[in-house]
Amino acid sequence: MENATLKCIVRYNGAPFAGWQRQPGQRTVQGEIEGALSRIANSPIAIQGAGRTDAGVHALGQVFSCQWPGTPPSRLAHAVSCMLAPDIHLVSVEAAQPDFNARFHAQWKRYVYAFDFGRVADPFSACFAWHVPYRVDLDLMRKTLKQFVGAHDFAGFQSAGSQIWETKRTIYTAELLHGGFCGSTDNDHLYRIELTGDGFLYKMVRNICGTLVEVARGRFTPAFAGQLLAAGDVFRGHCAPPHGLALATVSYDPYPGGAALDDADCATLSRL
Amino acid sequence: MENATLKCIVRYNGAPFAGWQRQPGQRTVQGEIEGALSRIANSPIAIQGAGRTDAGVHALGQVFSCQWPGTPPSRLAHAVSCMLAPDIHLVSVEAAQPDFNARFHAQWKRYVYAFDFGRVADPFSACFAWHVPYRVDLDLMRKTLKQFVGAHDFAGFQSAGSQIWETKRTIYTAELLHGGFCGSTDNDHLYRIELTGDGFLYKMVRNICGTLVEVARGRFTPAFAGQLLAAGDVFRGHCAPPHGLALATVSYDPYPGGAALDDADCATLSRL
């Protein structure tokens, strides 16, 4: 009997987990899902996530791939969700090409990072937004954010601990929007940054968002953020905490609008 | 030095609390707030809430009154919020008439009750919506809800444990709307009921919402909900769990639109 290759979409509240990656003696998202799948399959199942979210980081649409012995049962997604605590929801399971790998075949991803700019933290958003109780200049934050759009060497926004050597990435869109990805709907102080790109280095989104808050507070200049980007060595900015971050989308199709931006596009966008 | 009477608005995530009311050895909202106020005043402060929310019930705009010895410090709301965990946010403190009592002077209140009708619970809404994974008829639910609008004897929707003998209440508005009061913003399965009225009996909102779900699932008829209302004795329906409920608003002004609905209005509304 042949194996089936599966492509699965999963959504989780990262707060109670020690991150995505399986670790002995820790409650991790990968560990919980592998446990449930293995019990249903009655044989060990290993899964490959599109991205390894850190402890406390959420996912609205993480993707993983795995090999299933034989034909998977119908309604597998529902069966797995019912075996797990409400923190994890296996949204869908579908058959994929035999060589499908959720990590290596991803073409673009979208991350969302939420902020609570109220003077006092919102009781309903404390686990889903970074509370920044200072006066911030949102226009300056939005303008500085645009510097990151385009193809850049993001080595200067990568945290230590990564084994990635190729550090050029393309950011397709970078927006500062009103409202969080979760939390109370009657709170005007919630904002989010959405970043879409062909790939992200270790802690790159949190490093960008933390640095932008320092700019918006007046502690870094917008030019300093640009210098960090140009410098290309170790990150010297500010890293935002994990609980504001969610992996929103992983796509296996080309980014709409086609090819990566060329250098002229990037130069234009950087001046916005 | 004379006492000042204060009117305070407070917002809290009810999940980690044993309810509003102070109880020895339990973490309660009233207990936490009284502790913080008493430390700042350097003398014991007792507060009077507009409503006593049960364990797990949330508040977007609970109101309480208290006596303050002398002139309260400026920025008292912020100072209290900073002393407490992010679960409680003291939104505002203002001077009130000397005889102001948050409980007895309330003219109308609004409660909101949230449902997650997805087949699997949303990981971001598990503490802020009742997960109902069954097929529900939302049109029937909306229609049945309208029976409650108007002046009725709600004795049949009161849970045991109350010492209230006058059980006539007027519901001004009852709506079933899309979206929760909190939770993820990309989930179409969240709905909420908003009930506005001149007062609510013990567990009345949860009893109404639980009964409506039984109607929407086809386990009670809409007529049965009407019979419960007419019967006026002990509640024989279904009580919804506490974590979907939030006290949204307490008002000390007459309900806009003026006087309570008359019997003809109620008869009309009941037929909608």
pLDDT in tens, B179-223: 999 877 888 999 999 999 999 999 999 999 999 999 999 999 999
Which of B67, B95, B123 finishes a domain? B95
Residues A139, A85: one domain?
no
Pairs of CB atoms within 8 A across A/B = 76
Quick check: B145 pLDDT over 50?
Answer: yes
Q: Which of B89, B130, B181 to mutate to test the interface with A (most CBs of A within 10 A)?
A: B89
Which CATH number does the domain housing residue A24 bear? 3.30.70.580
Q: What pLDDT score was predicted for residue B1?
A: 67
| pLDDT at residue A4, rounded to an integer | 96
What pLDDT, on a 0 to 100 scale, did the predictor assign at position A258? 53
In angstroms, the Cα distances linking A83 to A68, A78, A89, A167 are 18, 9, 10, 39
What pLDDT shows up at residue B22? 96
Q: Are A9 and A28 in contact (CB under 8 A)?
A: no
Residue A173 pairs in a beta bridge with A196
Q: pLDDT of A96-112, one tens digit each?
A: 999 999 999 999 999 99
Give the span between the Cα atoms of B136 and A86, in whole angstroms.
21
A12 and B123 in contact by Cβ < 8 A?
yes
Per-residue pLDDT of chain A (272 residues; tens, 9 = 90+): 689 999 999 999 999 999 999 999 999 999 999 999 999 999 999 999 999 999 999 999 999 999 999 999 989 999 999 999 999 999 999 999 999 999 999 999 999 999 999 999 999 999 999 999 999 999 999 999 999 999 999 998 998 877 777 899 999 999 999 999 987 778 899 999 999 999 999 999 999 999 999 999 999 999 988 888 887 777 888 999 999 999 999 999 999 865 545 555 444 444 43
Summarize pLDDT for B1-51 with one digit per residue, the tens: 689 999 999 999 999 999 999 999 999 999 999 999 999 999 999 999 999
Answer whether A123 sits within 8 Å of B87, measured CB to CB. Answer: yes
Residues, chain B: 272
Q: Three-class SS string for A93-141?
A: EEECCCCCCCCCCCCEEEEEEEEECCCCCCCCCCCCCEECCCCCCHHHH
Structure confidence at residue A234 (pLDDT) = 76
- Which pTM does this prediction carry? 0.89
Matching residue, tokens 């079933």: B176
Indicate whether A264 belongs to any domain: yes
Helices B138-145/B222-231 angle, 10° precision = 20
Query: What whole-number distance in Å separates Cα of residue A145 and Cα of residue A133?
Result: 20
Whether residues A89 and A159 share a domain: the answer is no
Do A90 and A181 reside in the same domain of the chain?
no
pLDDT at A272: 36
Q: Based on the domain organization, do B115 and B49 belong to the same domain?
A: no
A123 and A61 within one domain: no
pLDDT at B68: 97
Residues B259 and B157 in one domain: yes
**Residue B218 belongs to a domain:** yes
Q: How far is B221 from chain A (nearest CA, A)?
A: 29
Q: Residue by residue, what is the 3-state secondary structure of A197-252?
A: ECCCCCCHHHHHHHHHHHHHCCCCCHHHHHHHHHHCCCCCCCCCCHHHEEEEEEEC
The greatest distance separating any two alpha carbons of chain B, rounded to the nearest whole angstrom, comes to 63
- For residue A100, tell me if it sits in a domain: no
Please say if A54 is a catalytic residue.
yes
What pLDDT sits at residue B2?
83
b/e per residue, B148-182, with b = 16+ CB within 10 A? bbbbbebbbbbeeeeeeeebebbbbebebeeebbb
Residue B5 phi/psi, 5-degree rounding, is -100, 130
Q: Is the pLDDT reported for residue B268 higher than 50? A: no
Is residue A193 situated within a structural domain?
yes
Q: Give A163 to chain B, closest Cα distance, Å.
A: 32
- Contact call for residues B122 and A60 (beta carbons, < 8 A): no
At residue A266, the pLDDT reads 45
For Cα atoms A60, A61, A64, give the angle at the middle one, nearest 5 degrees. Answer: 135
pLDDT tens for each residue of B217-255: 999 999 988 888 887 777 888 999 999 999 999 999 999
Number of domains in chain B: 2
- A interface with B, Cβ–Cβ < 8 A, is 11-13, 58, 60, 78, 81-82, 86-91, 119-124, 126, 128, 131, 179-186
Alpha carbon distance A8, A48 (integer Å): 10
Domain-embedded: residue B105 = no
Specify the DSSP class assigned to residue A152. Answer: E
Of B49, B68, B95, which residue is a domain's last?
B95
Kindly state whether residue B52 falls inside one of the protein's structural domains.
Answer: yes
Q: Are strands B108-116 and B245-251 parallel, antiparallel or unpaired?
A: antiparallel
Per-residue model confidence as pLDDT tens digits over B102-120: 999 999 999 999 999 999 9
Claim to verify: residue A124 and residue A54 sit in the same structural domain: no
pLDDT for the residue numbered A268: 46
Tokens encoding B232: 């006026």
At A82, which amino acid appears? C
Mean of per-residue pLDDT scores for chain B? 91
B168 shares its domain with B41? no
Please tell me the distance from the alpha carbon of residue A120 to that of residue A189, in angstroms, as a whole number: 10
**Locus of tokens 């990564």:** A162
Reported ipTM: 0.84
**Rounded to 5 degrees, what are φ and ψ at B115?**
-125, 145
Q: Are residues B166 and B59 in the same domain?
A: no
Give me the CATH number covering residue A132: 3.30.70.660
Q: Which of B65, B95, B125 is the last residue of a domain?
A: B95
Calculate what percentage of chain B has a pLDDT beyond 90: 81
Residues of A in contact with B9 (CB under 8 A): none
Q: How far is CA B4 from CA A244, B63, B148, B209, in A?
A: 40, 16, 40, 40
- For residue A132, the Cα-to-chain-centroid distance in whole angstroms is 20
Which of these ranges, A102-111, B17-26, B57-66, B263-272, has the smallest mean pLDDT?
B263-272
Phi then psi dihedrals of residue A216, to 5 deg: -65, -25
Residues 6+ apart with CB under 8 A from B3: B67, B68, B69, B70, B98
> What range does the domain containing B15 cover?
3-95
Same domain? A168 vs A91: no
pLDDT of residue B6: 98
**Residue A205 placed within a domain:** yes
Helix (H) or strand (E) holding B251, with range, is strand B245-251
* B192 and B250 both lie in a single domain: yes
Q: Do A36 and A121 belong to one domain? A: no
